[in-house]
Amino acid sequence: MTKFTTADVPDLSGRTAIVTGANGGLGLETARALAGAGARVVFAVRNAEKGRAAADSIPGETEVRTIDLASLDSVRAFAAGWQGPIDLLINNAAVAVPELRRTADGFELQFGTNHLGPFALTNLLLCNVTDRVVTVASQAERLGRIDFDDPNDERHPYERSTAYNRSKLANLLFTAELQRRLAAAGSTVLAEAAHPGFLATGIYSDSGRRTQILVRLLAQKPDAGALPVLYAAVADLPGNSFAGPSHLGHMRGAPELIGRSTAAQDPQLAARLWSLSEQLTGTTFPL
Q: pLDDT digit string (tens) for 3-57?
A: 899 999 999 999 999 999 999 999 999 999 999 999 999 999 999 999 999 999 9
Residue 13 within any structural domain of the chain:
yes
Residue 222 within any structural domain of the chain:
yes
Count up the domains in the chain and report the number: 1
Residue 100 within any structural domain of the chain:
yes
Residue 286 within any structural domain of the chain:
no
164 is catalytic: yes
Provide the pLDDT confidence category of residue 184 given band limits of 50, 70 and 90. Answer: very high
Residue 195 within any structural domain of the chain:
yes
Residue 55 within any structural domain of the chain:
yes
pTM score > 0.75 for this model?
yes
Domain that holds residue 32: 6-280
Residue 287 within any structural domain of the chain:
no
Contact by Cβ (8 Å): 255, 2: yes
173: CATH: 3.40.50.720
Residue 285 within any structural domain of the chain:
no
